[in-house]
Amino acid sequence: MKYTGIVFLLLSLLLCGNSMAQSSGKRTNLYRNMLEDGNIKKTYWQAQNNQNELQTAFSGLFLFYKTFFSSQDLTVCTFTPSCSEYGILAIKSHGMIKGGLMTMDRLTRCNGLSPQNYEFDKKLMLLKDDPTREPLVPVVASYK
């Protein structure tokens, strides 16, 4: 008799739980699919608009790295653009030799020990280091 009461109580609680879950279904739907399921296809503009075979080859290497290696890791680079993006941009804008040297140098600078040397991107919370842009001081004010 005692066990029958306990089973009855548990079943009642289960039914109550189910009905409550159904009534709050709208709210739970709001929080579904909040996390990425891993099937989001990313596009990299850095690998587009290749001008020659060399750029195409390096863009292929870049995409291979981004797809199979970088995607398995968190954002660990201290810079924006990241080291791999810097590499492909440097090669595209400065050629293979200078771009390659710039990339090797960047890899050694990617240590986060000298943040005072770079501008800070407040949105991404990363240090700015773009191989295609040299910071210039504006001559004329943009407010007067």
Partner 1 sequence: MKKGLLIFLGILSLSLKVIAQENLYNETNTRKFGEYLLESGQYNFAVKEFERLNFLNPSDSNAKLNLMKSYRLSGNWEDGIRRSNEIFEDLNLIPRPHSIEYSKLLLTGRDWPRAQHYWETNKTLPSPDKALLNTTAEIFNSDFQKALEYVSLVNDSTNYLAEGYRSIIDRGLNGKRKSPFLAGFMSTAIPGLGKAYTGNWKDGLVSLIFTGGMAFQAYRKFNQFGANNYRPWIYTAIGTGFYLGNIYGSVKSAKVKNRKRINILQHEASDLFNAYY
DSSP string, 33-83: T-S--S-PPP--GGGSS--SHHHHHHHHHHHHHHHHTGGGS----SEES-H
Least Cβ distance, residue 82 to partner 1 (angstroms): 17
Give SS3 for 120.
strand
Query: Does the protein bind partner 1 through residue 108 (CB under 8 A)?
Result: yes
Go through the chain and tell me how many residues it has. 144
Least Cβ distance, residue 139 to partner 1 (angstroms): 4
Of 11-19, 32-40, 119-127, 131-139: span binding partner 1 (CB under 8 A): 131-139
Query: Does the protein bind partner 1 through residue 105 (CB under 8 A)?
Result: yes
Nearer to partner 1, 22 or 111 (CB): 111
Q: Residue 83: which residues within 8 A CB-CB, separation 6 or more? A: 77, 103, 106, 107, 110
CA dist., res. 55 & res. 74, Å (int): 27
Query: Does the protein bind partner 1 through residue 61 (CB under 8 A)?
Result: no
Select from 107, 125, 132, 133 the one that contacts partner 1 (CB under 8 A).
Answer: 107
- Residues of the shown chain interacting with partner 1 in the complex, contacts defined by CB under 8 A: 98, 100-109, 111, 113-114, 117, 135-144
